[in-house]
Structure 1
Amino acid sequence: MKRYAFYLIGTLAPVLLGVLALRRALLVVEVTGASMEPTHRSGDRLLAVRGGRPGRGDVVLLRHPEAASRPAGASEYLVKRVAAMPGDPVPDTVAPVAGAGVVPPGSCVVLGDSPDSVDSRTWGFVPCSDVAGRVLRSLG
């Protein structure tokens, strides 16, 4: 019996450590609002990986840039698409807020898929460090 217990612990420990590592690396968030429609609708659940460098076109989780004015109970994350990275030209829809030229180092431009989205068209550039994760897929 003792030998079986050691075998069980030796087998389960790596599995449990793997599960814990995945829980730290992955995020599941629920979309609220219409800013990412039609790609992601309110109520959709998304699987994202923490960290990593996002690329142009990636859907990302962004730490809310206006955390102080975030409604009570609202997620700390926003779901947006990376439209421009450092060195890229500033999109025309963002230029009135951010200025013309190129995206500065350490910043990116994020847009919702809906033209009514509150995003870089409102805030201007967003620090790349505010990108908390990259969406891997929709869970439905």
Structure 2
Amino acid sequence: MSVVVAACTVVAGIVAGIVWLRYRFVVVTVAGHSMAPTFEPGDRVLARRARLGRVRAGDIVVVGPAGRTPAALPPPGHGHPWIIKRAVAVPGDRVPRERVPALAAVAEATVPPGKLVLLGDGPHSSDSRQVGYFDGARLVGRAVYRLPRR
């Protein structure tokens, strides 16, 4: 009987570990050229879920689409429209007006709380240059590792 209990405990521990990993990390497959040359279409990136306060300028981040928080999105691989970009300014940083035309006329000198300025590394990217600030509630996480291609 103790062997069965031990086996059940091990299986429960493994399942709990997998659930924790899936909650803490997401795998994102890059689609499009907006992050070239850093990432090319088909590259896979491991992102650790993070809150806005853990993001720094220069970090590569994953955000959800406008109007939907990460909790309301389907899991990876189910047609989710997640976006991967580089954070160039976070709350409290100077507004990068010279790099971001959509923010050229904003009144504030620093990025307001709850907002991000995101740019793609490539020349053809839909990002803050067109839409201005991204809502920090859309943040999924920070890219932490490039995974091998399949």
TM-score normalised by structure 1 residue count: 0.86
CA distance in 1 between partners of 2:39 and 2:83 (Å):
12
1:90 to 87, 95, 110: 95
Bigger shift: 47-56 or 25-34? 47-56
1:105 is displaced (CA, Å) by 1.9
Task: Give, as a single letter, the amino acid of the residue that structure 1 aligns with 2:8.
Answer: I
Distance 1:46 1:12, change over 3 A: same
Q: In structure 1, which of residues 117, 131, 135 is the aligned counterpart of residue 139 of structure 2?
A: 131
Whether 1:35 and 2:26 are equivalent positions in the alignment is: no
Who is 1:64 aligned against? 65
Find out whether 1:119 has 2:120 as its counterpart. Answer: no
Q: Distance in 2 between matches of 1:85 and 1:30?
A: 24
Are the structure 2 counterparts of residues 23 and 6 from structure 1 closer, same or farther at C-alpha, using a change threshold of 3 Å?
A: same
Aligned to 1:75: 80
What CA distance in whole angstroms lies between the structure 2 residues aligned with 1:3 and 1:120?
59
Once the two structures are superposed, residues 4-45 of structure 1 have per-residue CA deviations (whole angstroms, 9 ceiling, x without a partner) of: 111111222122211111111110110000000001110001
The one-letter amino acid paired with 1:65 is: A
TM-score (norm 2): 0.81
Structure 1 vs Structure 2 CA RMSD: 1.8
The one-letter code sitting in structure 1 at the alignment partner of 2:47 is A
Q: Tell me the residue number matched to 1:51.
A: 50
Query: What code does the residue aligned with 1:22 have?
Result: L
Counterpart in 1 of 2:72?
A: none
Instruction: Render the CA deviation track for 1:74-121: whole Å, top value 9, x for unaligned.
Output: 532100000001121222121x31225321222110000012211000
Give the Cα–Cα distance (whole angstroms) in 2 for the partners of residues 48 and 56 of structure 1: 16
2:81 counterpart letter in structure 1 = E
Larger Rg: 1
1:47-81 per-residue CA deviation (whole Å, 9 max, x = no partner) reads 111123211111010112377xxxxx853210000
Q: Which residue of 2 aligns with 1:16?
A: 15
Going from structure 1 to structure 2, the CA distance change for 1:20 and 1:66 (only over 3 Å counts) comes to closer
Equivalent residue for 1:26?
25
Percentage of pairs with the same residue: 37
| C-alpha separation in 2, matches of 1:122 and 1:25 | 31
Instruction: Flag structure 2 segments of 5+ consecutive residues without an equivalent.
Output: 69-77
